[in-house]
Amino acid sequence: ERVLAHAEGCSVIVKAAAVADYRPETLHEHKVKKENIEKELVLEKNPDILFELGKQKKSGQVLVGFAAESKNLAEEGLKKLRKKNLDLIAVNDIGGDRTGFESETNQLLLITRSGTETLPFTSKAHTADLLWDRIVALL
């Protein structure tokens, strides 16, 4: 709710992290003792903040998202770009040995409405600089 409330005045919105896709259906006020734990955990879907931002995006705003994928990077990234009304999506290959969450290096696939670009394999800090350059170019 807070993100959506502040989005209208932004020129660029970069959603680099997502809340969990699902949450427990039942929240307990106090610790649940192990003898009272259900054998089945029922989940409900959280709102998709990036999707909602895409629905309310104003003319001139640049909306950037990220996708963590292990296969079909271009195909999955393009689907998300279109579904969420993004201007750019940075697809992170989490299946690689030298890329992803627990590495110091990365290589992103950038997808826009006009095409794709694979950034060079480099440090995460340099990757961030290159990504920001591409975002600024969309303004």
For 34-45, write each residue's pLDDT tens digit: 888 878 889 999
What is the token pair recorded at 34? 């192990």
Each residue's pLDDT tens digit, 17-61? 777 889 999 888 999 888 888 788 899 999 999 999 999 999 999
**What are the φ/ψ torsions at residue 33 (nearest 5 degrees)?**
-70, 145
Q: Which of 4, 44, 55 lies closest to 20, judged by CA?
A: 44
89 beta partners: 65, 111
Distance between CA 11 and CA 24 in Å, rounded?
Answer: 35
β-bridge mates for residue 104, sequence order: none
The CATH code of the domain at 2-20+47-137 is 3.40.50.10300
Say what the pTM is.
Answer: 0.85
